[in-house]
Structure formats: structure tokens, C-alpha cells
Amino acid sequence: MDVKPLVVENLTIHYYTLEGIVKAVRNVSFSVEKGESVCLVGESGSGKSTIGLAIVGALPGNARIVSGRILVNGVDVLRLSQKELEKIRGREVSIIFQDPAASFNPLFTIGQILSDVIKYKLNVKDKNELRKLALSALRMVGLPDPERIYNSYPHELSGGMLQRAAIAVALSTKPSVLVADEPTTMLDVTLQAQILDLLQDLRRKLGLALVFITHNLGVAAAICDKILVIYAGSMVEYGPVDEVLTSPLHPYTKRLLECVPRSSARVGRLKYIPGSLPDLRKLPPGCVFAPRCSEVMEVCKSVEPRIVEVKPGHMVACHKYSR
């Protein structure tokens, strides 16, 4: 049997802050096949980026992975030493971020960063070989005039070009898993489509396992095979993208879908979900979504719902579907 490139099991992550322990991610599980893409969808602050950072082992210093496993090509990266982890990071898993302009050190050219990544990850010593690999990585992401980009500083390039360059850096080492943390949020719509196309294209060509993090359901619909809806650090629904988007089960997913503004239906006010995310330091007992849920029942306020498989491959954490 083929080993899955990425398996996340019961991942729980806490942030230790002066104001208390923030339970940012709780019991999140999902897996990604070769060439498959899974979307993590949720509001700002739902913990989706934290999961992405945990996968590449780049969590900030005050975060702790309390429990769970992250298997990259069958190896539990959480059990590795710092040194072994450094080997995998950027080599087997890599990441691109939301703000491409802030992802690049302003004092170094794209070429310097790109060739350093190739040099240290692929152990290429020869200067000409290094340059050749770097230029071919830039060519792979469809950047015109790679020579010029190679010698450019970040401030000399546009956001779209920088995001392509970031993809080139992340994929220059041929990783099997790529985490894309809201890679199109800062770009305008036409560029957004180009970058999504590029990612789709590269995913097929390289057989990448893609973890795509977004708050935009439209983007998720365009790029994903499976979708994982996260609310306040808990997974509420997980399933094939068509099913989740056309026949959502969880009340939160339903509300979220209603909130997507449609250009064709300009009637009435924009919809939103009343209330806001709960305080992750003082979680309410029971279902985290209960205070905002329109279909709330008595049991929701005291008992935390378990995630159950309602249809094959379609799971939901809601008391409506228990038993």
C-alpha cells in the first residue's frame, strides 16, 4: 500500500500567552493523498494557519503541540530531533505564505535566497549547477525572464511575481507536501486565478499533496478535492468538496455558505453569522459553535459533539447527526 504523503491525527496545539493558554487547535485529523488537495476553511483566528505552520515545523516559540501526530511520508515529524526535523523542513514539506512581499528578506535577491535553499536542501555545491537549478525553478512557475527575476530584489517585483517566486523557492527542492497559507488573499482577482491555476497545474505535474488554507469558499471550490471546515480550532465538517458545498451538514457550514456574496443575486442585505468566535482561553462546555448556532439544542450546551461519519467520507461534528 502506498504511504500517504501527509497524515494529521488528533492534532492539538496550545499557545502560551501572558493572558493564559490559548487552545488554538483541538483534535484535528485529516490526510492528503499524492496529487490531492485538501482545503482548510475557517474564519480568521480559527487556527487554520497554526495547523499549516505545525506541518512545516515553523510554529512560533510560544506554541506547543500538546498531542497528536503529523506523519510526513509515514514518519512522525513530532518525534524527530531538531536536526532531523531541519532536514525534512523545506525538503519534504514546504510552505508559501499569504503576504509574498513580507516572505522575502528585503536585503537579498530572489536568486540568493533560492540558491541558498537549493544549496542546503539538495546539497548542490557547484555554482553553475546551483544557478541552473534556480533558473529552472523560476521557469517552472511561469516567470518570464528568469535571469532578471534571479537578480531582482523583492521590492523590484510585483505581488503576483513574488508569489510565483515563493512557489519556486518552496518547490525547488521537489517536496511531496506543499502548504499554501492563503496564498491568494493579498492578490487581486485576476492574479488570484493565475496563481490558483499555477498551483493546480504544478500539483498534477509533480503529484503534490496540497494543503490549501483559505477563508474563501469560492477559492476552495475551485482548487480542492476535500474540504475541512474549522471553527474555533475544532473541525466541524470534513468531506469531498462537492458534497460539503452542495449539501452541507453542519449548521456552521450552512451559515458560512450563505455568507458568500454573489454578484448575480443583488437582493437584500449581505448575510453574516451573528456573534463572534469564542474566547479560545475560556472555551464554553459543549459545542463551540452553540452560542451562535440557530439550530441549537439543549444537549449542545453541555456535551461536546464527537465527529461522526454520516456518509462515506463525509464527517461532521454536530449533535443533530449523532446516533
**Binding site residues, other proteins, CB under 8 A:** 53, 56-58, 60, 86, 89-91, 94-95, 97, 99, 102-108, 113, 116-117, 120-121, 153, 155, 166, 169-170, 173
State which residue, 10 or 151, has the beta carbon closest to other proteins: 151
Residue 167 CB, shortest distance to other proteins, in Å, is: 11
| Shortest Cβ 287–other proteins spacing (Å) | 33
Q: Which three cell numbers stand for residue 315?
A: 464527517
Least Å distance between CB 84 and other proteins? 12
When the beta carbons of 51 and 95 are compared against other proteins, the nearer one is: 95
Of 61 and 274, CB closest to other proteins: 61
DSSP-derived secondary structure for 114-163: HHHHHHHHH----HHHHHHHHHHHHHHTT-S-HHHHHT--GGGS-HHHHH
Please identify, using beta-carbon distances, which residue of 90 and 239 lies nearer to other proteins.
90
Separation in Å, CA 70 to CA 7, 115, 123: 6, 29, 26
**Closer residue to other proteins, CB minimum distance, 11 or 179:** 179
- Shorter beta-carbon distance to other proteins: residue 122 or 273: 122
Query: Which of these, 176, 95, 172, 174, lies nearest to 130 by C-alpha position?
Result: 172
- Give whichever of 113 and 135 is closer to other proteins, judged by the CB atom: 113
276 sits in the region (left: phi over 0; alpha: psi -120 to 50; else beta) called: beta
Cα atoms in the 13 Å half-sphere on the side-chain side of 150: 15
The minimum distance between CB 41 and other proteins, in angstroms, equals 22
**Whole-number minimum distance, CB 258 to other proteins, in Å?**
33
Min CB(194)–other proteins separation in Å: 21
Phi and psi for 288 in degrees, rounded to 5?
Answer: -65, -25
Instruction: Indicate the length of the chain as a whole number.
Output: 323
- Residue 301 in grid coordinates: 450546551
How far are the Cα atoms of 181, 201, 214, 243 from residue 190, in angstroms, in the given order? Answer: 19, 17, 17, 27
Q: To the nearest whole angstrom, how small is the minimum distance from the Cβ of residue 214 to other proteins?
A: 18
Contact 137, 171 (CB under 8 A): yes
Residue 302 φ/ψ, nearest 5 degrees: -125, -30
Whether residue 162 contacts residue 154, with contact meaning beta carbons closer than 8 Å, is answered with yes
Nearer to other proteins, 211 or 307 (CB): 211
Question: What burial letters (b/e) apply to 63-100, b meaning 16+ CB within 10 Å?
Answer: bebeebebbbbeeebeebeeeeeeebbbbbbbbbbbbb
